Amino acid sequence: MKGEMGISYRFPRMPMRIAPLLLLLCVLACRSPLAQLPRDPAGPRLDLAPVRVEDHSRQLKRLRPLAPGEANTPETRASALAAHGHWLEGAFREDARARGIRVEAGAPLRLELTVTDLGEVRTSYIILGIASGVAWGVGTGLVAHDTRLAVGLGGYELLEESAFWILGSSVFGAWSAPAVVEAKVYREGEAKPVWADTFYALSGRALTKGLPPAARGDREIQLRAALQRLTDKILVELAQVPGFPGPDIHEPAAAVTARLLEGRPPAPVPGNVVPGSPSGGRL
């Protein structure tokens, strides 16, 4: 290339061998840690730990239908959460078995599932949303060096944000069936997970649209459908483990429907329900 003075410029070209190398490095960087695990000579299998459920609940009706005269207490909510965790564990075992994955103790890979949010927006998010609005109002007044403005804006934001977050979370909880599950895979004998991810679902309507109207409106079935969606997502990710069945293999739809509609099991002892922690999943 020649410049205005007739001087020739030569721009350095990237050697042809570097471009494929950079592409390979990008592919390796994006590769899931699951794909780098060794193949199990005994075939695809997992050791599934008991499902844990964090308790951020406020309303029993957001977890299951209320029986006549039933009270909304921490004990009834813990029992409902434990039942959902029990159902998720059974659903994962059945779904994995249908895909050709054996779930058995002593497998070289251990999967841990934790339900961090279920059925409603947790209180800490509501408080954080309100506090952020109030902080903005007060901060705006302080920046303007006007105390009365800071108090006025802070009070206004408190009222506005409270209405937005409290009413909004109630509508959101009633309209949707949110669920968040954290999944971690450990190698045998190791304390640090080789893979961890968080999975979200706002609802499971795609799985309930063919059900009778009464079943579609059943809160417990709605949350089961959301948890089933997350089970599918987790198994699709696990398909990256060498030797595991591909993501195109699914459990028959009839089996999923039957599991959604199965009779509610006796409420298990809520030993798998733990107090909520701020480091849980996000909605």
Q: What is the pLDDT of residue 125?
A: 81
- Identify the residue whose tokens are 């009365």: 148
Rounded CA-CA distance 152/159 in Å is: 11
Q: What are 152-205's pLDDT values in tens digits? A: 998 999 999 888 888 887 887 778 899 999 999 999 889 999 999 999 999 999
Q: How confident is the model at residue 22 (pLDDT cuts 50, 70, 90)?
A: low
| Tokens 């990008």 -> residue | 26
User: First vs last Cα of the chain: how many Å apart?
Assistant: 56
Q: Give me the percent of the chain exceeding a pLDDT of 90.
A: 53
Residue 263 CB neighbours (<10 A): 5
As a CATH number, domain 57-119+177-275 is 3.30.160
* Separation between Cα atoms, residue 283 and residue 117, nearest integer Å: 8
H-run or E-run covering 37: none
pLDDT value at residue 238 = 95
280 pLDDT exceeds 60? no
CA–CA gap between residue 220 and residue 259 (Å, rounded) = 12
Percent of the chain with pLDDT over 70: 82
Per-residue pLDDT, 253:
86
Contact in structure between 151 and 256 (CB atoms under 8 Å): no
50-73 average pLDDT score: 94
Integer Cα distance of 251 and 96 in angstroms: 8
Query: Region 210-222: what's the mean pLDDT?
Result: 92
Domain borders along the chain are 57-119+177-275
* Closest to 91 (Cα-Cα) out of 260, 277, 252: 260
